[in-house]
Amino acid sequence: MSGFASTNDLSEKTVSFDELGEGLYAYTAEGDPNSGVIVGPDGVVVVDAQATPAMAAEVQGRIAEVTAQKVRTIVLTHYHAVRVLGATGYPFQSIICSDVTREMIVERGQQDMDSEIGRFPRLFRGRDGIPGLTWPTQTFHGRMSLWLGEREAQIIHIGRSHTAGDTVVWMPKEKVLFAGDTVEFGATPYCGDAHFTDWPATIAALRALGAEKMVPGRGRALMNAAEVKEALDGTEAFTTRLFGIAKAGVARGAPLAEVYAEAMEKMRPDFGHWVIFDHCMPFNVSRAYDEAQGLDRPRIWTAERDVEMWRSLEAARMTSGEISG
């Protein structure tokens, strides 16, 4: 049995650093995790820190091309290792996340760190430089505002979707949204820690903001309202259809392996070309199946559980004949 699909993804991605408005930038890399940048009069805000201090240095290299200001504030959209473990690579004064995200770091941060590095080693370049878990210096409940001179950045715990603690950064005057993994564009949503039942309401809350530009969690920067709508529609379609397949399978008493094979067959024609589809789907279907059975709180992924799940589902799918060995 081969390793995770992601272990075969070894090609380096081309980084883009796009301006969305005055002092507002998107750091993207062909479907790898994105970061947002807000340049203020007294320092820079980075939305999602990247996976390692070495990768954070690459973000700062791009920032240095547009401002002499240093990164003083980091906002974490959620707790996943690939988003947060690079924080110590910045000269930060504060790290901000929702109170729920901090609770999840306490509960499952170390297990997530161990499992993510094992799943997707390319995304943790320079991982030997990670000193440990990233801890916030400040948490908030619901929402808060950062004032960068006269510019307001609203930090909103928008609702459960990709995780229970999902946070976005909204620039109301500029109508620019840093969406974290609540929204993806041309990239498969990772749903291993998701709340499928709540995700449509979270998408509705995002739509209500009226963003005209967006930095999704993965995928290129979205530069107009039509592209923002396409990303919202695509993320909602993917997650809703997947959960529908899982609910129908559970209702008829189908085992997880059968639901997985069905989901792969039905989802691949429309979504199989999205980045990391084959990597995400075993985790996605496992979580959807659990939630369809009534498990509201996602089970913690460990390195051991990752391997056990991957081997059992991929072995079953090979046996079913959907893929060749």
Mean pLDDT, residues 19-48 taken together: 97
* Radius of gyration of the CA atoms of the chain, in A: 19
* Token pair listed for 9: 């993804």
Q: Which helix (H) or strand (E) holds 265?
A: helix 256-271
Give the pLDDT score at 229. 98
Mean pLDDT, residues 17-31 taken together: 96
Distance CA 14, CA 301 (A): 30
Q: Give every CB contact of residue 311 below 8 A, 6+ residues apart in sequence.
A: 1
Mean pLDDT, residues 282-298 taken together: 98
5-320, CATH topology level: Metallo-beta-lactamase; Chain A (3.60.15)
Mean pLDDT, residues 224-244 taken together: 98
* Token pair listed for 186: 């041309």
Phi (first) and psi of residue 89, to 5 degrees = -80, -5
Give the pLDDT score at 320. 58
Residue 307 has pLDDT above 50, yes or no: yes
Q: Give every CB contact of residue 205 below 8 A, 6+ residues apart in sequence.
A: 158, 159
Give the pLDDT score at 323. 39
* Token pair listed for 191: 């749903």
Mean pLDDT, residues 212-223 taken together: 98
β-partners of residue 156 are 143, 168
Please state, for a pLDDT cut of 70, what percent of the chain lies above it: 93
Per-residue pLDDT tens digits for 263-279: 999 999 999 999 999 99
* Token pair listed for 97: 């996340």
Give the pLDDT score at 98. 98
Are 271 and 238 in contact, with CB atoms under 8 Å apart? yes
Residue 125 has pLDDT above 50, yes or no: yes
Least confident of 39-53, 196-210, 218-232, 297-311: 297-311
List of E strands, 14-164: 16-21, 24-29, 32-39, 44-47, 71-75, 94-98, 138-140, 143-148, 151-157
Mean pLDDT, residues 291-318 taken together: 89
Degrees, nearest 5: CA angle 321-10-228: 85
Higher pLDDT, 325 or 12: 12
Q: Which residue in 20, 318, 325, 1 sits closest to 177, CA to CA?
A: 20
| Dihedral of alpha carbons 241, 186, 108, 140, sign | negative
Residue 33 has pLDDT above 70, yes or no: yes
Mean pLDDT, residues 213-236 taken together: 98
Q: Is 48 left (phi over 0), alpha (psi -120 to 50) or beta?
A: left
Give the pLDDT score at 118. 87
Least confident of 77-86, 121-130, 187-196: 121-130
Mean pLDDT, residues 237-252 taken together: 98
Give the pLDDT score at 4. 52
Residue 97 has pLDDT above 80, yes or no: yes
Q: Which helix (H) or strand (E) holds 170?
A: strand 167-171
The pLDDT confidence band at residue 121, using thresholds 50, 70 and 90, is confident
Give the type of residue at 81: A
Per-residue pLDDT tens digits for 54-91: 999 999 999 999 999 999 999 999 999 999 999 999 99
Distance CA 315, CA 134 (A): 36
Residue 301 CA, chain-centre distance (Å), reads: 16
Give the pLDDT score at 324. 31
Distance CA 296, CA 51 (A): 28
Give the pLDDT score at 1. 36
Per-residue pLDDT tens digits for 143-165: 999 999 999 999 999 999 999 99
